[in-house]
Amino acid sequence: MNLSCKGVGVAIVTPFDVKYKIDYPALSRIIEHLINGDVDYLVSLGTTGEAITLTEQECRDVLDFTMKQVNGRVPIVAGQFGSNDTEAIVRKIKNYNFDGLAGILSSSPSYNKPSQEGIFQHYQRINEVTPVPVILYNVPGRTSSNVEADTVLRIARNCPNIIAVKDASANMIQAMQELQDKPDTFSLLSGDDPTSLPLLLLGGSGVISVIGNLYPDIFTKMVHLAIDGKRDEARHYNEIVIDVHQWLYKDGSPSGIKAAMHIAGFCENVVRLPLVPIHESTYAGLKNEMQRVNQLLLELA
User: Which residues form the catalytic set?
Assistant: 137, 166
CA dist 187 → 6, 162, 175, 179 (Å): 8, 10, 11, 9
A 10 A CB-CB count for 150 gives: 14
Cα distance between residue 100 and residue 165, in whole Å = 22
Query: CB under 8 Å to 263, separation ≥6 — which residues?
Result: 283, 286, 287, 290
Q: What is the DSSP letter of 278?
A: P
Show the CA angle centred on residue 272, arms to residues 266 and 275, nearest 5°. Answer: 100
Measure the CA–CA gap between 234 and 123, rounded to whole angstroms: 34
Separation of alpha carbons 121 and 123, rounded Å: 5
For residues 192 and 208, the answer to whether their CB atoms sit within 8 Å is: no
